[in-house]
Amino acid sequence: MKVILVGGGQIGETLSRILVKEKHDVVLVERDESLAEELAERTDALILNGDGSDKSILRDANIESADSVIALTGDDKTNISVCQFAKEMKVKNIISRINQQESENEFSKLGIANTVDATTTSALAFKKLMEKPGKQLISFVAGGKGEIFELSIKKESKMCGKEVGEFSKNFTIACIYRDDKYVIPAPGARIREGDILTICAPLEEIRKIEGMI
């Protein structure tokens, strides 16, 4: 697979090394000349020195034949420009780093769904490490205003034996994993010991839910 990475910072360098080891054809574009020279010595990827938002540089990287283009710079405007040109060139897989949450709408308008919010991803990793036993955080949603997580129901849980509909005003129980099957619960379905609930909830409800574990 041919991959073009734009941005030779720590993430770009690390990802390029991983992809090269997996025998992918990797081109890494870095605008800083001295860093580009260092990367050429430290990695086996093809390094191009230039501005990733410059279409001529991306053409030099043979974007026409790329399977994936990944924008990894610390500047959202540059990443948006890279993604826009990649889309024009009909690249199948376009991925971008998002540095500012307010830029998410710009990527959505472009139709770029494969994005990684650097700030939210870091916050998510730290939050996962402090989760209570029985609760497994999956993701933040709605610009960090809500969480999706799994909750394991024990016999002593305050939710055990209650109907799903009792909680609908405060949060959503999207599905229940029970007896090796995922079930979409009706409001009258009762929560049982051993169930694993997938819950979507606003942040202000999280403490209350944790109190029910």
Of 151, 152, 167, 162, the C-alpha closest to 190 is: 162
Where in the chain is CATH 3.30.70.1450?
131-210
Which pLDDT score is estimated for 104? 85
**Which strand ranges, in their side-by-side order, compose the sheet holding 196-202?**
135-141, 146-152, 196-202, 172-178, 181-183
CATH superfamily of 2-118: NAD(P)-binding Rossmann-like Domain (3.40.50.720)
Residue 146 phi, psi dihedral angles, 5° rounding = -145, 170
Q: Which parts of the chain have pLDDT scores under 50?
A: none
pLDDT of residue 23: 95
Per-residue pLDDT at 96:
96
pTM passes above 0.95: no
Beta bridge partners of 94: 69
User: What pLDDT does 150 receive?
Assistant: 95
In the chain, what is the straight-line distance between the N-terminal and C-terminal CA atoms, in Å?
Answer: 46
Q: What is the pLDDT of residue 121?
A: 83
Q: What is the spatial distance between Cα 169 and Cα 98, in angstroms, rounded to a whole number?
A: 33
Query: What was the pLDDT predicted at 17?
Result: 94
Question: What pLDDT shows up at residue 199?
Answer: 96
Q: Does domain 131-210 have CATH number 3.30.300.30?
A: no
Q: Are 27 and 21 in contact (CB under 8 A)?
A: no
Task: Please report the pLDDT score of residue 189 as a whole number.
Answer: 96
* Partners of 47 in beta bridges: 28
Domain with CATH 3.40.50.720 in the chain: 2-118
